[in-house]
Amino acid sequence: MSQKMNVTVVIILSLIALVTSGMAAFTWMDLKKARQQAHGELVPAALAAHAQPLFMPLEAFTVSLQPDEHENDRVLYVGLTLRLQDEKSRELVEAFLPEFRSRLLMLFSTHTAASLATSEGKALLVEQIKQVLSKQVIDGHSPVVTNVLFNAFILR
């Protein structure tokens, strides 16, 4: 019976050692992960998938604006860069660039200098640009523009 008891004690001690080792390894790995997150070393998977932004600069536009009551001709010179959701959107913009440039020229020419001189006016213009560019071009496909950035913005 003492030999059976010795075997049982050895098995129990082995199981305790195994469980303790497993818990120590899990705790160590969890602690390492927490340290990495605290130091900003770990990038969430969702963020990593969209870490590389896709920008597409457009050639600058020079447009005559609508005159105000007491103004002569005013001109807008604007340079834009589009931030696109994916490569498919970039390909669509590239393929239909003349159509998109025409849409943008038509949009810009409906504004007055006074409406574009304020920060609110520029923010509204960004939303209008996104709307104009998101209209479908072929078979229900349209580019997804996530942001519009101004490279140049001159009112004369």
Question: Residue 77: which CATH number?
Answer: 3.30.479
Nearest to 155 by CA among 53, 65, 50: 65
| 60 & 121 share domain | yes
Domain hosting 14: range is 2-42
Task: Tell me the residue length of the chain.
Answer: 156
Give CA separation, 62 vs 13, 37, 76, 78, 156, in Å. Answer: 82, 47, 6, 7, 10
What's the CA gap between 24 and 40, in Å, rounded? 24
Question: How many structural domains is the chain composed of?
Answer: 2
pLDDT value at position 9? 76
The predicted-structure confidence for 66-107, as pLDDT tens digits, reads as follows: 998 887 889 999 999 999 999 999 999 999 999 999 999 999
pLDDT tens figures, 107-119: 999 999 999 999 9
Average pLDDT over residues 50-57: 84
Q: How confident is the model at residue 43 (pLDDT cuts 50, 70, 90)?
A: low
Residue 51 is predicted with a pLDDT of: 57
**Same domain membership, residue 134 and residue 58:** yes
Same domain membership, residue 80 and residue 8: no
Residue 128 falls inside a structural domain: yes
- 47 in any annotated domain: no
Coil vs helix vs strand at 66: strand
* Pair 74, 21 in one domain: no
- Regarding whether 37 and 56 lie in a shared domain, the answer is no
Residues 8-30 have a mean pLDDT of 77
What's the predicted TM-score (pTM) here? 0.66
- Give the number of C-alpha atoms closer than 13 A to the C-alpha of residue 97, restricted to the C-beta side: 9
Token pair recorded at residue 146:
């996530």
